[in-house]
Protein backbone atom coordinates (compact mmCIF):
# COMPACT_ATOMS: atom_id res chain seq x y z
CA UNK A 1 0.00 0.00 0.00
CA UNK A 2 1.24 3.47 -0.88
CA UNK A 3 2.42 5.48 2.08
CA UNK A 4 2.40 9.27 2.12
CA UNK A 5 3.07 11.93 4.72
CA UNK A 6 0.38 14.34 3.57
CA UNK A 7 -3.02 15.02 5.13
CA UNK A 8 -6.21 14.86 3.05
CA UNK A 9 -4.92 12.03 0.90
CA UNK A 10 -7.30 9.57 -0.78
CA UNK A 11 -8.71 6.78 1.32
CA UNK A 12 -6.92 3.40 1.15
CA UNK A 13 -9.92 1.98 -0.75
CA UNK A 14 -9.48 4.60 -3.46
CA UNK A 15 -5.78 3.87 -3.71
CA UNK A 16 -6.55 0.16 -4.14
CA UNK A 17 -8.84 0.94 -7.10
CA UNK A 18 -6.27 3.37 -8.49
CA UNK A 19 -3.53 0.77 -8.12
CA UNK A 20 -5.61 -1.76 -10.05
CA UNK A 21 -5.77 0.63 -13.02
CA UNK A 22 -2.31 2.13 -13.00
CA UNK A 23 -0.14 -0.07 -10.82
CA UNK A 24 1.38 1.53 -7.73
CA UNK A 25 0.70 4.84 -9.32
CA UNK A 26 0.99 8.04 -7.31
CA UNK A 27 4.52 9.18 -6.66
CA UNK A 28 5.42 12.00 -4.33
CA UNK A 29 9.08 12.93 -4.23
CA UNK A 30 11.12 14.80 -1.63
CA UNK A 31 11.11 18.56 -2.05
CA UNK A 32 7.80 18.69 -3.88
CA UNK A 33 4.28 19.47 -2.71
CA UNK A 34 1.46 16.98 -2.96
CA UNK A 35 0.53 18.69 -6.20
CA UNK A 36 -2.74 19.54 -7.88
CA UNK A 37 -5.82 17.34 -7.94
CA UNK A 38 -5.88 14.60 -10.57
CA UNK A 39 -8.76 12.77 -12.27
CA UNK A 40 -8.20 9.47 -14.05
CA UNK A 41 -10.84 8.36 -16.53
CA UNK A 42 -10.95 5.06 -18.40
CA UNK A 43 -12.97 4.46 -21.55
CA UNK A 44 -12.99 1.45 -23.83
CA UNK A 45 -10.27 2.96 -26.03
CA UNK A 46 -8.17 5.16 -23.75
CA UNK A 47 -7.23 6.57 -20.38
CA UNK A 48 -7.41 10.27 -19.62
CA UNK A 49 -5.46 11.97 -16.87
CA UNK A 50 -6.71 15.43 -15.94
CA UNK A 51 -4.54 17.67 -13.76
CA UNK A 52 -6.21 20.74 -12.23
CA UNK A 53 -3.62 23.51 -12.35
CA UNK A 54 -5.26 26.92 -12.79
CA UNK A 55 -2.79 29.76 -13.04
CA UNK A 56 -0.07 27.70 -14.69
CA UNK A 57 0.71 27.93 -18.39
CA UNK A 58 1.50 25.03 -20.68
CA UNK A 59 5.17 26.06 -20.70
CA UNK A 60 5.24 25.47 -16.91
CA UNK A 61 4.66 21.71 -17.25
CA UNK A 62 7.13 18.94 -17.92
CA UNK A 63 5.63 15.62 -19.07
CA UNK A 64 7.93 12.64 -19.59
CA UNK A 65 7.53 8.90 -20.04
CA UNK A 66 10.18 6.31 -19.42
CA UNK A 67 9.76 2.57 -18.84
CA UNK A 68 5.96 2.90 -18.38
CA UNK A 69 6.46 5.67 -15.80
CA UNK A 70 4.59 8.85 -16.70
CA UNK A 71 5.92 11.90 -14.84
CA UNK A 72 4.02 15.18 -14.72
CA UNK A 73 5.88 17.99 -12.96
CA UNK A 74 6.24 21.74 -12.66
CA UNK A 75 8.72 24.04 -10.95
CA UNK A 76 6.43 27.07 -11.29
CA UNK A 77 4.78 28.46 -8.19
CA UNK A 78 1.54 30.41 -8.07
CA UNK A 79 -0.08 31.87 -5.04
CA UNK A 80 3.01 33.42 -3.49
CA UNK A 81 2.01 35.87 -0.79
CA UNK A 82 3.05 39.43 -1.63
CA UNK A 83 4.91 41.15 1.19
CA UNK A 84 2.51 42.83 3.57
CA UNK A 85 -0.48 40.69 2.56
CA UNK A 86 -2.06 38.32 5.06
CA UNK A 87 -4.26 35.44 3.93
CA UNK A 88 -7.23 34.86 6.23
CA UNK A 89 -8.16 31.68 4.36
CA UNK A 90 -5.92 30.02 1.78
CA UNK A 91 -7.06 27.03 -0.24
CA UNK A 92 -5.66 27.92 -3.64
CA UNK A 93 -1.97 27.68 -4.40
CA UNK A 94 0.32 25.41 -6.34
CA UNK A 95 3.99 24.96 -5.57
CA UNK A 96 6.43 22.91 -7.54
CA UNK A 97 5.15 19.37 -7.84
CA UNK A 98 5.95 16.00 -9.33
CA UNK A 99 3.45 13.18 -9.86
CA UNK A 100 4.55 9.79 -11.18
CA UNK A 101 2.12 7.24 -12.62
CA UNK A 102 2.91 3.65 -13.56
CA UNK A 103 1.01 3.04 -16.76
CA UNK A 104 -0.69 -0.22 -17.71
CA UNK A 105 1.18 -2.45 -20.14
CA UNK A 106 -1.21 -2.19 -23.07
CA UNK A 107 -1.04 1.49 -23.91
CA UNK A 108 0.33 3.25 -26.98
CA UNK A 109 3.11 5.46 -25.58
CA UNK A 110 3.81 6.98 -29.01
CA UNK A 111 0.24 8.25 -29.38
CA UNK A 112 -0.15 10.09 -26.05
CA UNK A 113 -1.62 13.56 -26.53
CA UNK A 114 -1.33 16.37 -23.98
CA UNK A 115 -3.31 19.62 -24.04
CA UNK A 116 -3.79 22.47 -21.59
CA UNK A 117 -6.99 24.48 -21.56
CA UNK A 118 -8.91 26.46 -18.94
CA UNK A 119 -6.58 25.42 -16.12
CA UNK A 120 -6.71 21.69 -16.88
CA UNK A 121 -3.80 19.67 -18.29
CA UNK A 122 -5.31 16.62 -19.98
CA UNK A 123 -3.34 13.65 -21.24
CA UNK A 124 -5.07 11.17 -23.52
CA UNK A 125 -3.40 7.75 -23.40
CA UNK A 126 -4.71 5.37 -26.07
CA UNK A 127 -4.98 1.68 -25.29
CA UNK A 128 -3.49 -0.88 -27.63
CA UNK A 129 -5.82 -3.45 -29.08
CA UNK A 130 -6.04 -6.54 -26.96
CA UNK A 131 -3.64 -9.30 -27.73
CA UNK A 132 -5.44 -12.06 -29.57
CA UNK A 133 -6.39 -15.12 -27.59
CA UNK A 134 -3.86 -17.89 -27.28
CA UNK A 135 -3.86 -20.18 -30.31
CA UNK A 136 -2.90 -23.79 -29.99
CA UNK A 137 -0.38 -24.86 -32.64
CA UNK A 138 -0.49 -28.44 -33.72
CA UNK A 139 2.83 -30.26 -33.61
CA UNK A 140 3.49 -32.56 -36.60
Angstrom distance (rounded) from CA 2 to CA 19: 9
Average pLDDT over residues 27-35: 50
Instruction: Name, in order, each residue with C-beta under 8 angstroms of 123's C-beta and a sequence gap of 6 or more.
Output: 48, 49, 51, 63, 70, 72, 112, 113, 114
pLDDT band per the 50, 70, 90 thresholds, residue 140:
confident
Structural contact between residues 73 and 90, judged by C-beta atoms closer than 8 angstroms? no
The pLDDT of residue 76: 83
Question: Using one digit for the tens of pLDDT, what is the confidence trace for 100-113?
Answer: 999 888 899 999 99
Angstrom distance (rounded) from CA 91 to CA 84: 19
- Give yes or no for residue 117 having a pLDDT over 70: yes
pLDDT band per the 50, 70, 90 thresholds, residue 60:
very high
Angstrom distance (rounded) from CA 61 to CA 58: 6
Cα 122–Cα 125–Cα 128 angle in degrees, nearest 5: 165
Amino acid sequence: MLQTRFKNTPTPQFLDVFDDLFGKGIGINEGYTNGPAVNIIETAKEFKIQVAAPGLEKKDFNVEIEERKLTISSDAEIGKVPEGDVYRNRQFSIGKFKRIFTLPERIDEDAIIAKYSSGILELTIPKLEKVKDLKQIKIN
